[in-house]
Amino acid sequence: MSTTTWTDEDFAALNARFESASPRAVLNWVFDSFETEKAVMGSGFGASGVVLMHFLEQVQPGATVFYLDTDVLFPETYNLRDKLTARFDLDIVRVHSGFSLDEQAEEYGEKLWEDDPDQCCFLRKVKPLRQYLSDKSAWLTAIRRDQSPTRANADHVEWSEANEVVKVNPMVKWTEKDIWDHIDHYNLPYNPLHDEGYPSIGCMPCTERVGNDADDPRAGRWSDSEKKECGLHLEPETAEG
Ligand code: SF4
């Protein structure tokens, strides 16, 4: 399917159709519409991502799931990656900036994540994402509307101007409770840090423990600053970092 001629009306019609559709129905549409190798899911192995991977395996066994390895993920996150690799019939692919922490320290200083987190996210996440997606057509994500005000208006199907792909968000309507009920029901693996007061888990230097009663599902991320997103899901000027 060519996406170059899609109009706003095309996206509106799809989103009207998907507003009451299940994640599985949205995934079926993705793999009916795009070549399998051109439709990839991105994940940081959060709880929503685990649930989407569960559906993805059912709809398209062997599909690609990529993660952005910033070199500073938690050991628990790498362990979860290994468990998910063993559990699901999916191809979990590492995407890396090619820019080592030593090279970054030499060029920008030891703690770029403190001095300029937007630049650090651009180098270690946004830029590698853009490179990886440059030959893809569809990017699946597990973002949800209830995660933050910046995601409250997310649609099931969007055009990512920054990455020039169709962005598909099959979980947008699910709530935090829906996600955990699904994980419990199917006994899916999840990051044990969630049980230790980390509602949202990113890179180690930028994720803090906030306790289990935090109202904000993304509390603890860049908690010392106004920053709320790494830029992966912002369009398009802020995605530049
Ligand atoms: S989350 Fe923090 S450590 Fe990770 S890429 Fe962004 S600024 Fe750097």
Domain ranges of the chain: 8-192
Q: Which of ligand 1's atoms lies nearest the C-alpha of 118?
A: 7
Mutate to test the pocket of ligand 1, among 67, 68, 69, 70 (most ligand atoms within 8 A of CB): 70
CATH of domain 8-192: 3.40.50.620
**DSSP, res 172:** T
Report residue 97 as tokens: 């900036």
Taking residues 41-60, report their average pLDDT: 98
Taking residues 60-70, report their average pLDDT: 98
Taking residues 160-164, report their average pLDDT: 94
Q: What phi and psi values does residue 93 have, to the nearest 5 degrees?
A: -115, 135
Mutate to test the pocket of ligand 1, among 67, 73, 107, 125 (most ligand atoms within 8 A of CB): 125
**DSSP, res 73:** B
Report residue 18 as tokens: 């998907």
pTM of the predicted model as reported, rounded to 2 decimal places: 0.91
**Residues tagged active-site:** 230
- Label residue 237 exposed, middle or buried (CB < 10 Å: 0-12, 13-18, 19+): exposed
- Label residue 157 exposed, middle or buried (CB < 10 Å: 0-12, 13-18, 19+): buried
| 11 vs 158: CA distance, rounded Å | 7
Query: Ligand 1: residues whose CB is within 6 Å?
Result: 70, 72, 113, 117, 120-121, 124-125, 202-203, 205-206, 230
- Would you say how long the chain is, in residues? 241
What is the β-pairing status of strands 138-140 and 39-42? parallel
CA of 26 to the centre of ligand 1 (A): 31
What is the β-pairing status of strands 165-168 and 138-140? parallel
CA of 140 to the centre of ligand 1 (A): 21
The CA angle 228-83-31, to the nearest 5 degrees, is 70
Report residue 141 as tokens: 């994500």
Shortest CA distance to 135 belongs to which of 66, 52, 69?
Answer: 66
Measure CA of the first residue to CA of the last residue in the chain; give whole Å. 31
pLDDT score at 238: 31
Mutate to test the pocket of ligand 1, among 67, 99, 120, 238 (most ligand atoms within 8 A of CB): 120
Q: Which residue lies with its CA nearest to atom 1 of ligand 1?
A: 203
Instruction: With a cut of 80, say whether residue 74 has pLDDT above it.
Output: yes
Q: Are the beta carbons of 202 and 228 closer than 8 angstroms?
A: no
Q: Which of ligand 1's atoms lies nearest the C-alpha of 205?
A: 3
Taking residues 190-198, report their average pLDDT: 95
What is the SS3 assignment for 201? coil
Q: Between 10 and 220, whose confidence is greater?
A: 10
Instruction: With a cut of 80, say whether residue 232 has pLDDT above it.
Output: no
Give the rounded distance of the alpha carbon of 80 from its chain centre. 15
pLDDT score at 239: 30
Instruction: With a cut of 60, say whether residue 236 has pLDDT above it.
Output: no
Q: Which of ligand 1's atoms lies nearest the C-alpha of 72?
A: 3
Q: Which amino acid is at 74?
A: F
